[in-house]
Amino acid sequence: MNKLPVQLAHIGVPPIKCQGIKTKLVPFIFKSISWEPTPQSRWIEPFVGSGVVAFNLSPPRALLSDLNRHIIDLYRAIQSGALDAASLRDFLENEGEKLAKRGADHYYEIRDRFNEEGSPFDFIFLNRACFNGVMRFNRYGKFNVPFGHKPQRFARAYITKIVNQVAWAAKQMRGKDWEFRSTPWEEVFSEAGPNDFVYLDPPYIGRHTNYINDWPDSEAVYLAKAARKLPCGFALSMWLENRHRRNTHIDEHWSGLDLRVCSHFYHVGATENLRNEIDEALVIKPGFATPDRGKQMTKQMAATRVSSLQTLF
């Protein structure tokens, strides 16, 4: 039934990179949530991103959504077998040879083709050949990350690493009732049932990098209010604090819930200030956090609320 908490012996890595990927936080997330699913329960993610949390949990039933249709198209292609390890290896070997010979010219040809056709094969190529592994789109929905200046990027070992990640993702969802959608989070919320669990990983307040669409403060506040009305358990991942400032949004709009904190370091980002150590918060609906520590962290959050409002933004 893939109930939580759980301790995994191995953490798998999905085939795409994106800002805020939770690979290193999966053990922290899985040991902090308490959820006993029924045969009809679904694991729901309205902001699935790389999919690293869902793929590692590998629940029997899931509803996974993201407004970035290219992520959804990729995982649908893997799910259906239209993109598999063998076909991706052939593609990356072919395009990698061209990249090695032509460098940036070939990268930008692939980028133009992707922005015209949206192929999931091109999506993986760009994600792995672009500057710093950033996933960024302009206001017209076009991928606009420049070349990463590594013409020899697709060495044999690196291609094997990527295709193994695709094979792992396919294995994790094989035989499972998983639905991938590109739809607003409000629509996903409307389908949550009392035995489901909703994991939220929305765009981070104050760390916006044009991932796919605007995420104004007003929508973040609306999400916080709507989450409290969900009929099931939920948890939210969001940055809490770094060496420069504290995210007061959590204190102001997610108070009264259980709070867990874990420090880690971001390696993916367009600029150096997005690649620093940061305290990550996991806010959990009361009754769905593992015992004791959640209560302790809730008290800590309440005690720091006044001082946090005085920090510089």
Q: How far apart are the first and last CA of the chain?
A: 43
| CA separation for the pair 297, 294 (Å, rounded) | 5
Helix H segments across the chain?
26-32, 52-57, 69-80, 85-102, 104-117, 120-129, 156-173, 185-189, 217-227, 248-253, 293-308
Q: What pLDDT, on the 0 to 100 scale, is given for residue 276? A: 65
Nearest to 285 by CA among 308, 261, 254: 254
Nearest to 52 by CA among 33, 69, 30: 30
Do 23-67+183-308 and 82-171 have matching folds? no
Kindly give, in sequence order, each residue whose CB lies less than 8 Å from that of residue 212, ignoring residues fewer than 6 positions away. Answer: 66, 67, 68, 137, 141
Q: What pLDDT, on the 0 to 100 scale, is given for residue 304? A: 36
pLDDT digits (tens, 9 = 90+) for 51-81: 999 999 999 999 999 999 999 999 999 999 9
Q: Which residues of the chain have pLDDT under 50?
A: 208-209, 268-270, 272, 294-313
**Helix H or strand E encompassing 81:** none
| Whole-prediction pTM | 0.88
Classified by CATH at the fold level, domain 82-171 comes out as Adenine-specific Methyltransferase; domain 2 (1.10.1020)
Burial class (CB in 10 A: 0-12, 13-18, 19+), 270: middle
Q: What pLDDT, on the 0 to 100 scale, is given for residue 297? A: 46
Q: What pLDDT, on the 0 to 100 scale, is given for residue 245? A: 86
**Helix H or strand E encompassing 209:** none
Give the start-to-end residue ranges of the domains of the chain. 23-67+183-308, 82-171
Nearest to 285 by CA among 217, 220, 198: 198
Dihedral angle, C-alpha 76, 81, 85, 90, nearest 10 °: -100
Residue entry with tokens 């930008």: 108
Classified by CATH at the fold level, domain 23-67+183-308 comes out as Rossmann fold (3.40.50)
The number of residues in the chain equals 313
